[in-house]
Amino acid sequence: MRKRVLLSLVLIAMAVGCGSSRKPGNMLLTWALEDQVTGDPVSCAAGDKVVVTATPNGSGTQFIDRFDCTLMGGTTNDLDGGNYTVTVQLVDANGAAVSQPVTFNHAVSIDNNSVDLGHFVFQV
């Protein structure tokens, strides 16, 4: 009987430990705005935000970070380790899209690191 209990405890411990061994990390990005007709630099409108949405591939919690547009860059809060589909978009004070969303066509991998998403130019 003791061996069964011990074996059961070992199996439970192994099952609990089978989760992702990846460690949390974050993403960083910068941005600029330009006039879609002239290409000239444009200032952010009052209340504009850059929204970064990270959706885990598979299952898990979706992470959404919002940055004041005037910051022109930011670092997300920590995300659980794993692979994510990431979308970046400029929205107005009411949350309506100001730009087309940019979605990464490949998984963004978080594993105890800071992933540089790059520089985004939003045409407005």
Distance CA 36, CA 25 (A): 34
Residue 20 C-alpha from the chain's centroid: 18
Q: Can you give the pTM of this predicted structure?
A: 0.80
Per-residue pLDDT of the chain (124 residues; tens, 9 = 90+): 433 333 232 322 233 333 458 899 999 999 999 999 999 999 999 999 999 999 999 888 899 999 999 999 999 999 999 999 999 999 999 999 999 999 986 789 999 899 999 999 999 9
Domain for residue 40, yes or no? yes
* Phi/psi at 43 (5° precision): -80, 155
Q: How many folded domains does the chain comprise?
A: 1
Domain for residue 113, yes or no? yes
Q: What is the pLDDT of residues 11-30, one digit of tens each?
A: 222 333 334 588 999 999 99
Domain for residue 16, yes or no? no
The single-letter code of the amino acid at 51 is V
The CATH code of the domain that includes 101 is 2.60.40.10
Structural domain of 111: 23-123
